[in-house]
Structure 1
Amino acid sequence: MRWRVFRCFPRRIFQSRTVEKSVRRVVPRSLLRRSLLIVFIPLLITQAISLELFYGNFLKVVSRRLSGAVASEIVLSLNALERLHSQSDKEWFVQQARDHLQLVETWKPNAKLTRTGFNHVLGPMDEDLARGLETAIDYPFFVNWHNDPHIVTISIQLSDGVLEVEAPRKRLDTGQILLFVAWALGSSLLLFAIASLVMRNQVRAILRLAYAAEQFGLGRDIGPIRPEGAQEVRKAAVAFNRMQDRIYRFVYQRTGVLAGVSHDLRTPLTRLRLSLAMMPQSGTLQAETLKEDIEAMVGDVAEMEHMIDSYLSFARGEGAETPEPVELGPFLHDVVTNARRVGTQVQAISVQKGLVATMRPNAMRRAVMNLLDNARRHNAGITITARSTAEGISIWVDDNGPGISPERREAVFRAFESGRGGGTGLGLTISRDIIRAHGGEMELADAPQGGLRVRIVLPE
């Protein structure tokens, strides 16, 4: 039994794939045509259902009631004419039927009908009138719809002649079905044209986004695209502009770092070259001179290692670390504990209870440590505060150091601009790069203690 189940399984998959291929051949491939098809098919089905319900049910009921009313009035006329014997009374009744029942009755004595039934088939009113007359009277009759486009002539064969009754056609006709079909078809085409224009604008926005993505992938700078179209398309355009700006900023920062590597490494390499060139080539070297030269070269190597570590840290950025929810209280206390071990003066830390942020812990720890290390080099006391705000999760790092003047606050985020205190000038650059990689932002301002305030905003 198991073998039969597994043997039938590929056949089902094959059948489903065959059906899928058949559907793909019929369904258009473009988004615009598929969208129009999605709009047109329900619209067509709705119009067909409304036509069937209206002319299939409502018009039948109306036609049956109208035909029954006319048949009843004709029966009333027959009964009255049979009861009235004088010619003057019959003429009086015929005039009353003409004035009040809108029936023109003509008596043709000794006449005979040559045809019975009706000679016109357009809708339910023909059959309903004939059926109503068959039920109401026992005489042969003929309904003529062709004498006059506004009159229906009903001829009834009596024993001594033919009673001819002319009834207004508007009392039986509920309206031309062609008018309703034309109205339904015209309104459908109008709505479909409006939907086509709207869908074309929506698809144009998607095509513009696809073109911008293709050009960006080819390395062509076409600038930010204007968000337009539906809300989802606008969000996609805004996300594309942010991604484009982030990639350009990433490339610009990395290019700046690579351009500065040769400049920063040239100084210690030059000192090493000079130290090697000035060493005596022969003779006995004095121990103290050799020791001093070796210590100088070791210092240059250590400086180069420090710069290379900073470059690698900057180049790694956020790396391939997976974001995860992290409670900020224990996280910041752990960072502060590690910073105090190297002499950082963290005076106070205040974190809102239960505050959780989605982050890459190692990358965020590197960003905060860079900020604390900058303050440590200026022997500044630090205060850390974390709260939930309307913009997201805000972290304030305040110090009482010399601060940064407002005109230099944007420049210090560029690579090698903030290295005057003994660093490599990449701390703030790395920190803001990590924060922006998390979808946040980092700003500089004046601290209440008179130093520098660094505000980090992370999305919740």
Structure 2
Amino acid sequence: MRLFGTPTSLKRMVPRGLLGRSLLILVVPLVVLQVVTSVVFYERHWDTVMRRLASGLAGDIAATLSLLHRYPDPDGQAWVTDFAQEHFELQLDFKAGEVLPNDEHFRDALSEELNDSQNENMEDVLAQSLSERLHRPVMVDMAIFARDIDIYVQRSDGILHITAPRKRLFSSTTYIFVLWMAGTAMLLFGIATIFMSNQVRSIRRLAVSADGFGKGRDLPPIKVEGAREVRQAAQAFNLMRERIQRQVAQRTEMLAGVSHDLRTPLTRMKLQLAMMGDSPDACDLSEDVAEMERMVEGYLAFARGEGTESASDVDLVEVLETVVARFQRDERCAVELIGLYTASGERRQAPTTVRRDSIERCLSNLIGNACRYGQRVRVHYIAQEDEESCSIVVEDNGPGIPPVLREDVFRPFFRADSSRNSQTGGTGLGLTIARDAARVHGGDILLDDSQEMGGLRVTLHLPL
């Protein structure tokens, strides 16, 4: 039989966070140490102290019995009774002519053989000490919550009932030991929690900054603090952030010049073609120039990315409605939008921080491709149960994309005879730009067959 069930159930019991696991590493040895210490204490110290206290109480009772035997007259008996109560805290009550009962709740120390195992309790220890000192039948009645201990000693003329305070068999060192153990454990646990929280806070701040920077948010450099390894990771992240921002800035400046240089000759060519009139050659060249202009715009949109756009707080559902409404005005394709309302009729909301233009361009490319290759398009917004992510599914009734080409179509400028790009002369950048925008925001795009509409099913996953 495995401890704690299966390894899977044991894994579920382990904390997921670094702080919880670090504290578990500290707490488990501390608990084990205290358990071992407690076992040693109760095996050695408590057993020794209990036997010595029981032996002391048995000695006082033996001395009292000796005094009673030495002074048998009424005045002597009264003096011994007062003496025992004043000096030994023992109350005496003699019952003449009675005999100890054979009750299973009591134990005859002379007839019962006591062992030295861990199960030996105070009642057994006291009965054994009394039998060794008195050498006569003795019975001990020690209730769990009683303040006194009842001891019955058989004499020749009756039973001597002795009442002793329970505290005579207890030592304050036991409580002091427990309090010290619990107190020091709580103190050490508190210090460890404060220390580990400071260490984990640096790691958590690094993770938040890395996630925000990966989603395009303009965040300042993180503060370098914490342990040496955490400081090294923070410094490496800040250097990486500076290099990426420098590369993006250089690429943006270069592309601004490329855009200007390419637009100028294209504009001159368009003017010259316009002066040539409506000749067949001029029409053919005009179409080529328009195609070149579209390709240049697509290339610049892909290469530029979204390096200059800052993230802002938007409602993803509202952005989706805006993009879909733009395509619904085109009568050449029927676009249906579903999933914006809950079962109770409430309109869904998806507040998040993204680059709005980038997300709009991503959705426009996906829905535009679906409209280009199909006559009916359905856009389905799906809210995930964890409310930390969502999916936008775009389905069409077009020819679809073969499974072997579904990863290749995300490559820049990829075009194949069997792909849908070959039908319309596309530049091969639509899906590339869309996936690039999705991954910049921590999401992704997956392609599959549409079982209901017969075409392509495009699923856009985005975190909220």
TM-score range relative to shorter protein: 0.3 to 0.5
TM-score by length of 1: 0.44
Larger radius of gyration, structure 1 or 2?
1
TM-score by length of 2: 0.44
